[in-house]
Amino acid sequence: MATVESLSSAETVKLFQQYVIGNYTRYPVSLVRGENSYVWDSEGNRYLDFFPGWGCNLLGHCPEPVVRAVQEQVATLIHVPNTWHMEVQGQWAKALSERSFGGQAFFCNSGTEANEAAIKLARLQSAGKRYKIITFTNGFHGRTMGAITATAQPKYHEGIGPLLPGFRYAPYGDLAAAEKLIDDETCAFLVEPVQGEGGVNIPPADFLPGLRRLADQHKLLLMFDEVQTGCGRTGHWFAYQHFGVTPDVMTLAKSLCGGVAGGAMLARPEVAAYLKPGTHAATFGGNPLAARAGIAALEMIEQEGLLERGKALGEIFRSRFTELQAQCDVIREVRVLGVMVGVELAVDGAPVVRRCLERRLLINCTHGTVIRLLPALTLSDQQAHEGCDIIAAALKELV
């Protein structure tokens, strides 16, 4: 059988058209190799990647410590059921707990699975008496039925109803609206500390502390979806640490394992106790490969000082795009927290993405008009400026 690397991009596209379900809009490029912030296509062209792995490759493509850990683990023990103890999974849970709020971990494979676990836990801890969960407009929590129902935008619900009952949606950042939705059947808030898919939206300073106060007053769980913001993305281990607020439950995935699939839900021990044997599970969750990768990712961030590096990179992006905003009326707002960057435009952002692709820079547009960058913490200053130059040129050509 021919290897993928032996096929041209056009040949791979044809292979997909015949054999792979077309539920994604894909660029006509076949990527075959990655190293740090670069990827290469079948034709040998190199691309600078400012959106590596849809936010999963926070440490760049194929980070050496993660690769080495997985290589060692795959030759030792790949998978055993969660009916057995695994030291490496326990050590991973300890490492996450010590860097956050002292919670206990449930491991799964993805962000949507982590949020499903949180939804079930919120209902379980109220003993079936309360089932409503308040989420927020422009949030995104995943594609499984519970998580997609938690996601407020109607476009994600079209054609898949009936949805899971019990979700109420409030405008993001609007405390008064959230309070009005609380009733005797409400059990939790589920919110992204900083919205990613919704356009890199940073909340008002009083919003998350206000949700904490409402949760305490009404005995609700405060659950933070840190699938995109977690594990160092924003310059702290977790985005909630910017706001001086501690959640009861937190969900993680994407960059959790340095590019290897893995997800987790952390919960305060007294809340976690409601997830008893038989109430929830994930067959591959917390397997030795993911656990070794997850530990290696955390160690790499600490040993290489990457939290501070994220803050420094964020300042470069803030400076460059603020400067560009002064020259380019089409930029409405620049929003930056660590290496989470949103540049809101007054026009459709898709042509900017295509023009950057032609110049071998990979970026993303979300919410129609927001250029979203989630670059690696290992990006160099030179690469950051090179990418900003390309985006600036693309914008100036199109407006």
Dist CA 224 CA 239 (whole Å): 9
Strand partners, 136: 170
How many CA atoms does the CB half-sphere of 314 hold within 13 Å? Answer: 19
Active-site residue among 41, 238, 243, 254? 254
Summarised one tens digit per residue, pLDDT across range 175-214 is 999 999 999 999 999 999 999 999 999 999 999 999 999 9
Other CB atoms within 10 A of residue 197 CB: 22
Angle at 17 between CA 361 and CA 24, to 5 degrees: 50
Question: Is residue 206 flagged as an active site residue?
Answer: no
How many CA atoms does the CB half-sphere of 222 hold within 13 Å? Answer: 20
User: How high is the mean pLDDT of the chain?
Assistant: 97
Question: Is residue 174 flagged as an active site residue?
Answer: no
Radius of gyration of the chain (CA): 21
pLDDT score of 326: 96
pLDDT score of 30: 97
Locus of tokens 């160099």 = 380
Is the pLDDT at 5 greater than 70? The verdict is no
Question: Is residue 396 flagged as an active site residue?
Answer: no
Q: Is residue 44 within 8 Å of residue 53, measured between CB atoms? A: no
Active-site residue among 225, 238, 317, 321? 225
Summarised one tens digit per residue, pLDDT across range 52-100 is 999 999 999 999 999 999 999 999 999 999 999 999 999 999 999 999 9
pLDDT score of 398: 85
Active-site residue among 140, 243, 317, 321? 140
Whether pTM exceeds 0.95: yes
Beta-carbon contacts of residue 396 (< 8 Å; ≥ 6 apart): 327, 328
Summarised one tens digit per residue, pLDDT across range 139-184 is 999 999 999 999 999 999 999 999 999 999 999 999 999 999 999 9
Under the banding of pLDDT at 50, 70 and 90, the label for residue 2 is very low
Dist CA 156 CA 158 (whole Å): 6
Summarised one tens digit per residue, pLDDT across range 252-261 is 999 999 999 9
Is the pLDDT at 133 greater than 50? The verdict is yes
Locus of tokens 């795959």 = 74
Share of the chain above pLDDT 90, in %: 97
Share of the chain above pLDDT 70, in %: 99
CA 377, 379, 385, 389: dihedral to nearest 10 degrees? Answer: -100
| Cis, bond preceding 162 (omega within 30 deg of 0) | yes
